[in-house]
Amino acid sequence: MKIKVINQSKHPLPEYQTPLAAGLDLRANLDEPVSLEPLERKLIGTGLFIELQAGYEAQIRPRSGLAFKYGLSVLNTPGTVDADYRGEIKVLLVNLSNETFVVQDGERIAQMVIAKHEQIQWDTAETLSETERGAGGYGSTGKS
């Protein structure tokens, strides 16, 4: 599918890195490097503006390599970009390591997955159907 995009960044449009990839890597669009101290969070701009089709969202997720090697994550993962949002796509990075992480301009800091979603209407009720699980959760089925 096609998605309308305005690229005000200094970088090429996000690309799928492999033929069947789900995520498009997002690059930081910075005037200068940005430091993240341990447990610090910062909004990083991408310089990208998109117009999603109705019924679609863009999810902003961490990159596993950055998470594994540097403890870098996306605080609100998966971030939700609504189809009616017209602002700049931003990434809320958080440094969960004990060391300062420096984000460089153009670095691939997160990935974006375009996903279909539903919008619902509430069907207010007095009771819900019975199931085997019932209200069990949070480990109710055991460990092994």
Ligand X SMILES: O=c1ccn([C@H]2C[C@H](O)[C@@H](COP(=O)(O)OP(=O)(O)OP(=O)(O)O)O2)c(=O)[nH]1
Q: Which residues would be at the binding site for ligand X (CB under 6 A)?
A: 60, 76, 79-82, 85, 89-90, 92
SS3 content of the chain, % helix, strand, coil (to 5): 5, 35, 60
Q: Please, what is the minimum distance in Å from the beta carbon of residue 84 to ligand X?
A: 7
- Tokens 């992480």 belong to 101
Q: Please, what is the minimum distance in Å from the beta carbon of residue 43 to ligand X?
A: 8
Instruction: Give whichever of 43 and 99 is closer to ligand X, judged by the CB atom.
Output: 43
* Calpha distance 40→118 (Å, rounded): 34
Partners of 35 in beta bridges: 102
Q: 65 among the known binding-site residues?
A: yes
Q: 133 among the known binding-site residues?
A: no
- Residue 12 and residue 5 in contact, taking contact as beta carbons nearer than 8 Å: no
Q: Tell me which residue of 94, 111, 116 sits closest to 103, measured CA to CA.
A: 94
Q: Please, what is the minimum distance in Å from the beta carbon of residue 132 to ligand X?
A: 35
Instruction: Give whichever of 83 and 105 is closer to ligand X, judged by the CB atom.
Output: 83
Q: Residue with CB nearest ligand X?
A: 79
Q: 9 among the known binding-site residues?
A: no
Cis, bond preceding 78 (omega within 30 deg of 0): yes
Output phi, psi for 80, to 5 deg. Answer: -110, 120
Q: 129 among the known binding-site residues?
A: no
Q: 64 among the known binding-site residues?
A: yes
Q: Please, what is the minimum distance in Å from the beta carbon of residue 133 to ligand X?
A: 30
Q: Enumerate the known binding-site residues.
A: 63-65, 76, 80-82
Q: Enumerate the known binding-site residues for substrate.
A: 63-65, 76, 80-82
